[in-house]
Amino acid sequence: MKCSACGSTALVEGSLIDTSSGGRLGFRPADVSSLKTMFGMGSRRIVSYGCIHCRTLQLTVEFNEADIQKYQEFEGQQPGVLERINSGEEREAG
């Protein structure tokens, strides 16, 4: 992996931390319900990389295979939940 700012390969991998309460930060896709989040489901781990040369911080998200299949199905802007539900009903009817 290269630094997105300066192109250096001198990156140090780490994690974002919440120093006030000790919880881990994570990424929650917009289509994951708040209820799932409350039970610790649906969030993805954030991995951070700090560049030694320019001190830029880069963030990446660890998606699983199901996420990749789900989100690569659409190109461009993701449709809303209602649009997905309606398009599924139209496919079943057709």
Q: Is residue 44 part of a domain?
A: yes
Examine residue 89 and state whether it is found in any structural domain, yes or no.
yes
SS3 content of the chain, % helix, strand, coil (to 5): 30, 20, 50
d(CA 36, CA 30): 12
Q: Is residue 5 part of a domain?
A: no
The whole-number average pLDDT for the span 26-51 is 76
Structure tokens, 33: 């319900």
Q: How far apart are CA 67 and CA 6, in angstroms?
A: 30
64-84 confidence digits (pLDDT tens): 888 887 777 665 666 677 877
Q: Residue 36 belongs to what domain range?
A: 11-93
Is the pLDDT at 47 greater than 80? The verdict is yes
Burial class (CB in 10 A: 0-12, 13-18, 19+), 3: buried
Question: Is 39 among the domain residues?
Answer: yes
Tally of domains in the chain: 1
What DSSP designation does 78 have? P
Q: Taking the model in full, what pTM does it have? A: 0.56
